[in-house]
Structure 1
Amino acid sequence: MAAEEAQRAVDAGASAGLVYPSHGWLRFGYQKGAAQDRYRAIYEHSGLPLILFQYPDVTKATYDLETQLDIARQPGVFAMKNGVRNMRRWDTEIPVVRREVPDLQILTCHDEYLLHTMFDVDGALVGYGSLTPEPLIELIAAGKRRDYPAARAIHDKLLPVTRNVYHRGSHMEGTVGAQAWPGGARHSGPRHGAFAVAAAGGRCGSRNRRRLALRWSDLTRGGALTRRPSCCAWPNKVP
């Protein structure tokens, strides 16, 4: 079914696919090799370039290091969206992935741990980008420069947003947090989609980012989120 859905996406014009684990794995886990087979089947059937999605460590759908490396080495897999949400695993596994699969683009999806993860990545694939794209682009650039003081300043500036939206019992509650901004703000459109931001370049110009997403100045005043971003700035070109 996933392979057929990928083919339909290709037919509709998709240029890449973010592969979620099978829903049943969240509760029951998966057999050894099943995740590798899933990515292989999708790519062989559709030819769609794929992004490896690393789920949180607290779920049974998270991939151990061996599985991550196996998938990352497969034809068609060009990036990883990593949301393991266990900084011990992040600090020990990301350097190995970098060393073993150097061409793999690594994207953080840790909305609540952006500062910690920003120095190890090529970009971000985060819902946070729907809220404050400009500061996130600056944060990625600071991380690539290894400029901790600048990155820390951006982090501290964003902290009121992070606390209100993402410092919750589960990071998945961030959608609720964004929909119910302090002061009664409500999201009037569809549910947030993931929004990738990069340090430089991409397919979405600054004018569109300003038009489609909340400006930082609006957000700090508790403005209402009324639009869903429909474009993204990608770290590198999709194969």
Structure 2
Amino acid sequence: MANFNFHGIIPAIAVPFNDDFSVDEPELRRYARWLARQPGIVALMTNGHTGEVFSLTARERAGVTRVVADAVKDICPVISSVVCEGINEAVEHAAMAKEAGARALDIMPPHHWLRFGFRSEHCIDYFTAIGKASGLPLVVHVYPAWTRASFPSALLAELARLPYVQAFKIGTREMNKYARDLKAIREADPAKALLTCHDEYLLASMVQGVDGALVGFASLIPGLIHDLLQAVADGDLRKAMQVQSLIDPLKDAVYGAGEPTGEAHGRMKAAMARAGILRSATVRPPTQAPSRSELDAIDAALRHAGLQQRDAA
């Protein structure tokens, strides 16, 4: 299995759309190259929630990965998320992603697990089948503790022992369990990378001892997240708190008091357009564009962070 460096910042990349909701491939290519060159970026991830994956067909998901992987082939590798309902479909999507240029796969829980739950052996079988078929390093996408697709700490340890699993994208969002999860994975295999995906409270999750961040928020503020991760790594809490104070108004404007959602991704894309990072803030239905009051909050947060209309060429 090929080596892959998961230690650093991995943005879950947003996807620009044309006015007719088709993927704007030239803009995606330009944006991917700009993002990949930002400090601390070790990879890009396609087909995450930030990339509005549930609005994309299987063919489009592979197409997005192909465009991004080709655009950044001389800069960094690409991870593609696999979002499927069964093993056969997941193996098929994994093969499409690999053919499109993905060098690792982020595996989300099948969404029927959210409704009906699952057994631990279901999860092990799912990851094992994808790992064996693809031969690519796998990232375990850990869902919030309050969902029925949450993985118990003992299961995370079991997943950490699989040779196919190389990293964990941890979005537990309940700090006691988050600490237990990190400890269980570290004890099972300390070589496996631990990545926070807590966009809405980055500092609190980073100081628990992680190796990086795999977050959609890095599509908008890669520089601030890099500065925050570096300050935490240096043990400079004062600097970390200063950086987090720049992030907080944007976090509130994008995510509000909750977790990342479709509408939050719409607000983040609006922020990206207003900061000059993307040409357009178009989102695919049913996600809706922000209201006037939400845009005002975004503008104020961008001014606070000094991020208005920067050059993303």
Distance 1:179 1:99, change over 3 A: same
Q: C-alpha displacement at 1:224, in angstroms?
A: 7.0
Partner Cα separation in structure 2 for residue 21 and residue 99 of structure 1:
23
Q: Say if 2:194 is the partner of 1:106.
A: yes
Partner Cα separation in structure 2 for residue 225 and residue 175 of structure 1:
20
Query: What secondary structure, in the 3-state scheme, does the structure 2 residue paired with 1:79 have?
Result: strand
Distance 1:43 1:219, change over 3 A: farther
Letter in 2 for 1:21: P
Pick aligned residue for 2:122 from 15, 34, 47: 34
Q: Say if 2:256 is the partner of 1:174.
A: no
Aligned to 2:223: 134
Partner Cα separation in structure 2 for residue 170 and residue 162 of structure 1:
10
What's the TM-score, normalizing by structure 2? 0.59
Partner Cα separation in structure 2 for residue 190 and residue 13 of structure 1:
26
Distance 1:221 1:157, change over 3 A: closer
Aligned to 1:123: 212
Q: C-alpha displacement at 1:31, in angstroms?
A: 2.1
Q: Say if 2:280 is the partner of 1:188.
A: yes
Aligned to 1:61: 149
Letter in 2 for 1:77: V
Letter in 1 for 2:175: M
- Structure with the bigger RCO (C-alpha within 8 Å, sep 6+) is 2
Gaps of 5+ in 2: 1-88, 285-300
Q: C-alpha displacement at 1:139, in angstroms?
A: 0.8
Q: C-alpha displacement at 1:223, in angstroms?
A: 4.1
Q: C-alpha displacement at 1:225, in angstroms?
A: 10
Aligned to 1:144: 233
Aligned to 1:164: 253
Pick aligned residue for 2:134 from 27, 37, 46: 46
Pick aligned residue for 1:79 from 167, 181, 188: 167
Q: C-alpha displacement at 1:162, in angstroms?
A: 0.9
Q: C-alpha displacement at 1:147, in angstroms?
A: 1.8
Partner Cα separation in structure 2 for residue 219 and residue 48 of structure 1:
41
Distance 1:83 1:149, change over 3 A: same
Q: C-alpha displacement at 1:174, in angstroms?
A: 2.3
Identity in percent: 34
Partner Cα separation in structure 2 for residue 135 and residue 168 of structure 1:
20
Aligned alpha-carbon RMSD (Å): 3.0
Partner Cα separation in structure 2 for residue 72 and residue 111 of structure 1:
23
How many residues align? The count is 205
8 A Cα contact 2:266 2:283, kept in partner:
no
Aligned to 2:243: 154
Deviates more, 1:144-153 or 1:51-60: 144-153
